[in-house]
Amino acid sequence: MEEKNTRPPLGSKEDGYLLEWRPGGVFLTVWPSSDGKPSRGLADIRKSLLGNGITEYDIITLARIVREASGEAAFLARPPKKKEKKEEPKEQAEGTEKAGEVAPGKAQQDASSKKELSPEEQLRRTQPVKIVVEVSHDRMKAVVRFDTKDGVLLPTADGVLAALAENKVVYGIDKSAVEQGVGSYASFLAAKGVPPKNGENARIERNFDLKVKGHPKMSAHDRVDYKDMNLFVLAKVDQLLAVRIPQTKGTPGHDVFGTEIAARGGQPVPLPNGKNTEVRNENEIYATINGQIVDNGKKIEVDPRFVVNGNVSVGTGNINFDGSVEVQGNIEYGFSVKATGDIEVKGNINGGSAEGRNIVVSGGIIGKGRSHVSAQEDVRAAFTEHANVEAKNEIFVADAALHSTLRAGRRLSCEDKRGQIMGGSVAAGIEVRAKVFGNMYGTETVVSVGVDPALEQHYKAMLKDQKELRERLTKINQVVNTLEKVDVTKLPPERVQQINALTRQQFPLAGRLKRLKLDIEQAKQELDNMASGTITVLDCIQPGCRLMINGMAKKIESPIKTSVISLKDDAIAVQAYMNL
């Protein structure tokens, strides 16, 4: 029976390869790295084989095992030849003993066993192992293994440290691993470098969340409001929209030889500032106008106009936008659009509401007993029906105003197509102008012109403010003029601060008074124009119409053709309209 070879294996999975001396021969295992390639090269493994006295192997087989890197043991070479045992004496083999001899003891058996070893083997068992230091290709790992070809005595930890130093391994040495490693023949990781930590790329942190768009708003009682669908995210002037976090340089690393490994710095990114935004403090994006935030991933913009691609209804909910709104369809019953800018409706307002600066409706305004349209300036529509419309400036109706309540601060006109105002009540500060008022059936239609009560109230409030500002400015001027005659250096600090505060108030107050004077003059001019308000009839005004001009009333009893109706000598007068 052959003696089993007990030589310890060489390498480990961490080293990327393993050599085993089995009864059937020398077996080699090669493991792949994380990228699927062999962890060890062919040259490294051949060097290890030569160092362990393995020279009789097929190089093609070795290359195949390394290339496949299957992680499974594969036969590489035949087992080394065994030395033949010396033939024992016949008498000893037969177990006979000479007369008078004592059976050999344990010490005699050991001596006999030693006699069986060759001198070379006996010498090998008294010699230390060879310390082999293997450094990985990337120089980030140093593995220590023990070559037992010429010796079997394990080294001390200091001996391993000395071997590392001889191989110039000076960084990342794990002394604890060294102390444990000298206790067996297994190879171990003795030193490990520190890889560089690359810098982080610059990034953009957005101070808004567009993911809430299209989801209904939750009320304070966790109830869903389907009339508020969050179709946009608004930005205010000077609102911080995004911040750029700059790239970092990174931290260098070191290999086991102590060589510094440079880190790769992070990459910069440009600021995605788009329309109606500006960059401040190098890395911050601010909004320059009010509007909705638009972010396509490359640019952050603020759009002062919001477009509804369809109807304002259950699918959109109510619209409340800081800017202008364009509705491609209708504003349906019970829904509203509010905007600080203009509102343009391509379809109709069907029982819905609208509130904005200027309101333009390509179709009609159909009240259905609920609709209310209010503009800070003008309203334009093709027709109105049972609608409630008001504008601080002018109202233009192209075709007809039927059974509607219309209020214009300056002028109201209905003179295209039919140009008819029938039923309801219309009023304007300066002029109401239409082709036809009323109808042949005597439908009651109230037409009023004259002073706008809202404008008159505003005019009186401005006069009151003007008086108060003048009185305040006069007192400040008196105090400042008096103090100019006093030695300010002798006054206490508190008094000096009061004087400076009063002086700083002079010029702003004077500026406010100047602007207020201009507004008062403009309002007075408008009120004077309203005092001579007119009703212009381009075709006919029918019986049933009731006229009101600056508090004076007149009921139309018979049709009146093209004419201008105004107030003359405290009475309503009808004059022929000459500019047809």
Tokens standing for residue 209: 């969340």
User: What pLDDT, on a 0 to 100 scale, did the predictor assign at position 529?
Assistant: 66
Residue 287 β-bridge partners: 277
- According to DSSP, the β-strands at 343-345 and 359-366 are parallel
- Other CB atoms within 10 Å distance of the CB of residue 514: 9
**Rounded to an integer, what distance in angstroms lies between the CA atom of residue 349 and that of residue 138?**
74
**Average of pLDDT values for 514-541?**
84
539 and 526 in one domain? no
384 and 339 in one domain? yes
**Rounded to an integer, what distance in angstroms lies between the CA atom of residue 543 and that of residue 560?**
8
Residue 501 lies in a domain: yes
Tokens standing for residue 396: 């233009």
Cβ atoms of 442 and 425 within 8 Å: the answer is: no
pLDDT, one tens digit per residue, over 390-417 is 998 899 999 999 999 999 988 999 988 8
Q: For residue 51, is pLDDT > 70?
A: yes
- According to DSSP, the β-strands at 305-308 and 324-327 are parallel
Element (H, E) at 245: strand 240-245
pLDDT, one tens digit per residue, over 16-46 is 888 888 877 888 898 888 777 777 777 788 8
**Average of pLDDT values for 303-316?**
88
CA distances to 271, 486, 504 from 472, rounded to whole Å, are: 50, 22, 13
Residue with token string 């400015």: 473
Q: For residue 368, is pLDDT > 60?
A: yes
538 and 439 in one domain? yes
**Rounded to an integer, what distance in angstroms lies between the CA atom of residue 391 and that of residue 373?**
8
229 and 313 in one domain? no
**Rounded to an integer, what distance in angstroms lies between the CA atom of residue 551 and that of residue 315?**
47
Q: For residue 353, is pLDDT > 70?
A: yes
Residue 118 lies in a domain: no
Residue 88 lies in a domain: no
Q: For residue 330, is pLDDT > 90?
A: yes
User: What pLDDT, on a 0 to 100 scale, did the predictor assign at position 10?
Assistant: 82
Cβ atoms of 228 and 215 within 8 Å: the answer is: no
Query: Closest Cα partner for 42 from 138, 137, 182?
Result: 137
What is the count of structural domains for the chain?
4
pLDDT, one tens digit per residue, over 235-281 is 889 999 999 999 999 999 999 999 999 999 999 999 999 999 999 99
User: What pLDDT, on a 0 to 100 scale, did the predictor assign at position 354?
Assistant: 95
pLDDT, one tens digit per residue, over 131-181 is 999 999 999 999 999 988 888 888 999 999 999 999 999 999 999 999 999
- According to DSSP, the β-strands at 431-437 and 534-541 are parallel
424 and 392 in one domain? yes
User: What pLDDT, on a 0 to 100 scale, did the predictor assign at position 166?
Assistant: 94
186 and 168 in one domain? yes
**Average of pLDDT values for 185-211?**
92
523 and 403 in one domain? no
Which residue, 531, 549, 566, sits at the end of a domain? 531
Residue 492 lies in a domain: yes
295 and 236 in one domain? yes
Q: For residue 506, is pLDDT > 90?
A: no
Residue 385 β-bridge partners: 366, 402
58 and 154 in one domain? yes
- Neighbouring C-alpha atoms within 13 Å toward the C-beta of 476: 19
- Neighbouring C-alpha atoms within 13 Å toward the C-beta of 563: 14
Helix axis angle for 59-68 and 42-51, nearest 10°, is: 130
Query: pLDDT tier at 65 (50, 70, 90 boundaries)?
Result: confident
Q: What share of the chain is helix, strand, coil (3-state, %, to 5)?
A: 25, 35, 40
Q: Cα 469 to chain center, whole Å? A: 49
CA distances to 4, 8, 116, 119 from 83, rounded to whole Å, are: 12, 19, 10, 13
Residue 384 lies in a domain: yes
Tokens standing for residue 385: 């029906």
388 and 335 in one domain? yes
**Residue-wise DSSP of 137-178:** TTS-EEEEEEE-SS--B---HHHHHHHHHHTT--SSB-HHHH
Cβ atoms of 134 and 15 within 8 Å: the answer is: yes
Domain that holds residue 264: 199-250+258-303
Tokens standing for residue 188: 């171990």
CA dihedral 359, 364, 366, 370 (to 10 degrees): -10
176 and 225 in one domain? no
Q: Which amino acid is at 96?
A: T
Query: Closest Cα partner for 474 from 512, 521, 509, 515?
Result: 509
490 and 442 in one domain? no
User: What pLDDT, on a 0 to 100 scale, did the predictor assign at position 218?
Assistant: 58
- Neighbouring C-alpha atoms within 13 Å toward the C-beta of 186: 12
pLDDT, one tens digit per residue, over 118-135 is 777 778 788 898 999 999
Q: Which amino acid is at 128?
A: P
**Rounded to an integer, what distance in angstroms lies between the CA atom of residue 295 and that of residue 272?**
9
Residue 135 lies in a domain: yes
- According to DSSP, the β-strands at 420-428 and 534-541 are unpaired
Cβ atoms of 475 and 468 within 8 Å: the answer is: no
Residue 520 lies in a domain: yes
CA distances to 264, 270, 273, 281 from 245, rounded to whole Å, are: 18, 11, 15, 12
DSSP tally for the chain: helices H, then strands E: 9, 41
Burial class (CB in 10 A: 0-12, 13-18, 19+), 320: middle
Which residue, 531, 549, 564, sits at the end of a domain? 531
Residues near 340 by Cβ (< 8 Å), separated by ≥ 6? 290, 321, 322, 323, 356, 357
* Phi–psi pair at 170, nearest 5 degrees: -125, -10
User: What pLDDT, on a 0 to 100 scale, did the predictor assign at position 91?
Assistant: 42
Which residue, 147, 174, 192, sits at the end of a domain? 192
Residue 116 lies in a domain: no
Q: Which amino acid is at 115?
A: K
